[in-house]
Structure 1
Amino acid sequence: MNKALISIDYTVDFVADDGKLTAGAPAQAISETIAQVTEEAFKQGAYVFFAIDGHDLDDTFHPESKLFPPHNIMGTTGRHLYGPLANFFKDYQSDARVFWMDKRHYSAFSGTDLDIRLRERGVDTVILTGVLTDICVLHTAIDAYNLGYQIQVVESAVASLTVENHQFALNHFKYVLGATLVDEKLNKIKD
């Protein structure tokens, strides 16, 4: 079984107090855990994909421009990884198992070559972390399900704006997509 951890949108704009579309405290609370989970999955041999939202400032055609303020604008510090996860990327970005992938939509699969890259590497299981549980993580999970991947969501390494939205998404992962919810120690991720 080959695995890939997909770290979704854990950036300054989505996490920092002054982020352009911040989830604030709930997202900040997972800062240490998301870095530890990423490091542990990498040590266990998983590929690591950073699927990061990227928008153009003046793109009025993108559907999100009508829903949210400008965020994760290409070339800005808002797209930088937040907290200790940034250190992981800095330390391992040149490793052949670590990838940075720009995305324009909620799902890491939409409009990207993520599926192709995973299949080239024989990946059959994706481990999801990041923000927001009920938006980008959920949409990525739905696409992974539709593409036939096994899905693991690290419950303590995803966050949303509200407890209700977070719990809705966790229930959807488990009961609708058949995903496995795992803890930060990755006990259930080991083969």
Structure 2
Amino acid sequence: MNQLHDNHTHSGQREPLIDWNRTALVVIDLQKWIGQQYAPYSAEAVIANAAKLTQLFRSHGAFVALVHVSSKDFKDMLSPKLDTAPPKLNLVEGWDEFVPELGVTETDHIISKKQWGAFHGTDLDLQLRRRNIDTIVICGITSGIGVDTTAREAFQHGYDIIFAIDAMTGFTKAEHEHVRDVIFPRMGRIRTTEEVLKGI
């Protein structure tokens, strides 16, 4: 039996990382507005690893939530007063479409959000709870904004979290390393894409 399917643990054996019936993959903002400057991993590397994870979850019939920012007129988007102007959005043609590498399928659940986190104002929590899902594997762009905010929301909702740490990246290396070293260990478990694929 595949290690990831084996939920019968014997004394002294490690419990499998993933129970496919109770674990979802949540992919944050891998859409066509992605720019070029990220660290420590490139957007291409993150997308490639996220694509491996989506394929893995789909192959086991597990729940895949693809999250993107989308708006018709931007009147439903946040516009806080800031000391420093935010970076300009890369609003290319089809900016809110998912990158093709994810290969969106009919079984994926699409979450459209209007802010950093994927829970507020969406049906993500409802969809997870009605499927008795208690764990999420999270990845995407960026580590310290969309991923971190969604993870904090998931944590406050009581979900277990697994961070696919090399399937996400920050605008800067410092951003990524801060959440990796300070925030994420207090909310869940950190694994590489390869470790998730192997179930360890």
TM-score by length of 1: 0.80
Q: How many residues align?
A: 176
Cα drift, residue 182 of structure 1? 1.3
Alpha-carbon separation, structure 1, partners of 2:159 and 2:198 = 14
The reply on whether 1:182 has 2:191 as its aligned counterpart is yes
Cα drift, residue 173 of structure 1? 4.1
Secondary structure in 2 matching 1:14: coil
Q: 2:31 aligns with which of 5, 11, 14?
A: 11
Matched residue type, 1:121: R
Alpha-carbon separation, structure 2, partners of 1:189 and 1:122 = 23
Q: 2:118 aligns with which of 78, 92, 108?
A: 108
Alpha-carbon separation, structure 2, partners of 1:148 and 1:99 = 21
Q: 1:69 aligns with which of 88, 105, 117?
A: 88
Matched residue type, 1:31: I
Secondary structure in 2 matching 1:153: strand
Secondary structure in 1 matching 2:33: helix
Identity over aligned pairs, percent: 21
Alpha-carbon separation, structure 2, partners of 1:101 and 1:72 = 19
Secondary structure in 1 matching 2:111: strand
Alpha-carbon separation, structure 2, partners of 1:42 and 1:100 = 14
| Unaligned residue ranges in structure 2 (runs of 5+) | 1-18
Q: 2:155 aligns with which of 145, 155, 159?
A: 145
Matched residue type, 2:95: G
Alpha-carbon separation, structure 1, partners of 2:58 and 2:74 = 37
Matched residue type, 1:28: E
Alpha-carbon separation, structure 2, partners of 1:133 and 1:158 = 6
Distance 1:64 1:78, change over 3 A: farther
Secondary structure in 2 matching 1:101: strand
In the alignment, is the contact (CA less than 8 A) between 1:182 and 1:189 conserved in 2? no
Larger radius of gyration: 2
| Unaligned residue ranges in structure 1 (runs of 5+) | none
The one-character-per-residue Cα deviations of 1:80-105 (angstroms, maximum 9, x if unpaired) are: 222411xx21xx2x22xx11110001
The reply on whether 1:78 has 2:87 as its aligned counterpart is no
Indicate the RMSD between aligned Cα atoms, in angstroms. 2.7
Distance 1:115 1:58, change over 3 A: closer
Aligned to 1:59: 75
Matched residue type, 2:110: W
Distance 1:189 1:103, change over 3 A: farther
Higher percent of residues as helix: 1
TM-score by length of 2: 0.77
Which deviates more from structure 2 when the two are superposed, residues 55-64 or residues 98-107?
A: 55-64
Structure 1 consecutive aligned stretches of length 4 or more whose deviation exceeds 6 Å: none
Cα drift, residue 132 of structure 1? 0.4
